Amino acid sequence: MSKTAKPIKDSKTEMNELVMPNDTNPLGNLMGGNLMRWMDIASGICAAKHCGAHVVTVSVDHLTFSEPIKLGDVVTIRAEVTRAFNTSIEIFLEVFTRGMLEENSRKSNQAFFTFVALDERSMRPKVVPEVIPETEEEKKLFDEAIIRREMRLVLSGKMKPSEAKFSMDFLNQ
Ligand SMILES: CC(C)(COP(=O)(O)OP(=O)(O)OC[C@H]1O[C@@H](n2cnc3c(N)ncnc32)[C@H](O)[C@@H]1OP(=O)(O)O)[C@@H](O)C(=O)NCCC(=O)NCCS
């Protein structure tokens, strides 16, 4: 474990938004693209805090929309680091929604966003601090992140399927 390794809890980020008329589609529901923008902001804040550097979004994966979010709903986005690789970092996002006057919120979305940290001078990718997973959930997300990484690199053409060791082991289980 490197000296710069950081616990996940140090960069956990929560963001609240109220769905306004300008955020909705003609059906009165939050537009998916607006939710993605908020998720990008929340996860970008989380990634930059962990990395102590400017970051750029390099991949958005497994974004699910399980139910519509309505005009006037309160949207809470929670972002946490799962694992750092070399210059990139994976963030897990969960979205919870409730009516303005409701007490309980329901989970409406989740996704994994990947960011790359940039060196401020060269604007080239720079090495990011390692992650210290502490809870059982954090350890599970940490362990599985290596498989998700290979899958996204294969799907984006950055890795040959024959080089994907961990995900092949996982699929053969
Ligand atoms: C992110 C960026 C700097 C990477 O540049 P690059 O020359 O591809 O750099 P590398 O090949 O060294 O990759 C850097 C890291 O990104 C990762 N990466 C590259 N493409 C990826 C993809 N599609 N999915 C996941 N990770 C990816 C690499 O695995 C590497 O991570 P690692 O060091 O942890 O192994 C460059 O692609 C870029 O500027 N993209 C645009 C980012 C942006 O503007 N985002 C906002 C969108 S509007």
Instruction: Give the domains, in start order, of the chain with CATH numbers.
Output: 6-133 (3.10.129.10)
pLDDT over 70 (residue 65): yes
Question: Is 152's C-beta closer than 6 angstroms to any atom of ligand 1?
Answer: yes
In this prediction, residue 13 has a pLDDT band, given cuts at 50, 70 and 90, of very high
In tens, the pLDDT along 18-28 reads 999 999 999 99
DSSP code for 160: -
Q: Which atom of ligand 1 is nearest to the CA of 85?
A: 34
E strand or H helix at 115, and its extent? strand 106-118
E strand or H helix at 173, and its extent? none
Predicted TM-score (pTM) of the model is 0.94
In tens, the pLDDT along 78-119 reads 999 999 999 999 999 999 999 999 999 999 999 999 999 999
* Confidence at residue 4, expressed as pLDDT on a 0 to 100 scale: 86
Nearest residue by C-alpha to atom 19 in ligand 1: 58
What average pLDDT score do residues 72-82 get?
A: 98
* Confidence at residue 165, expressed as pLDDT on a 0 to 100 scale: 81
Question: Is 36's C-beta closer than 6 angstroms to any atom of ligand 1?
Answer: no
d(CA 93, CA 80): 7
Under 8 Å between Cβ of 36 and 62: no
DSSP code for 144: H
- Percent of residues in the chain assigned helix, strand, coil, to nearest 5: 35, 35, 30
| DSSP calls for 119-165 | -TTT-SB-----EE--SHHHHHHHHHHHHHHHHHHHHTTSS-GGG-H
Could you tell me the two tokens for 161?
A: 């399927």
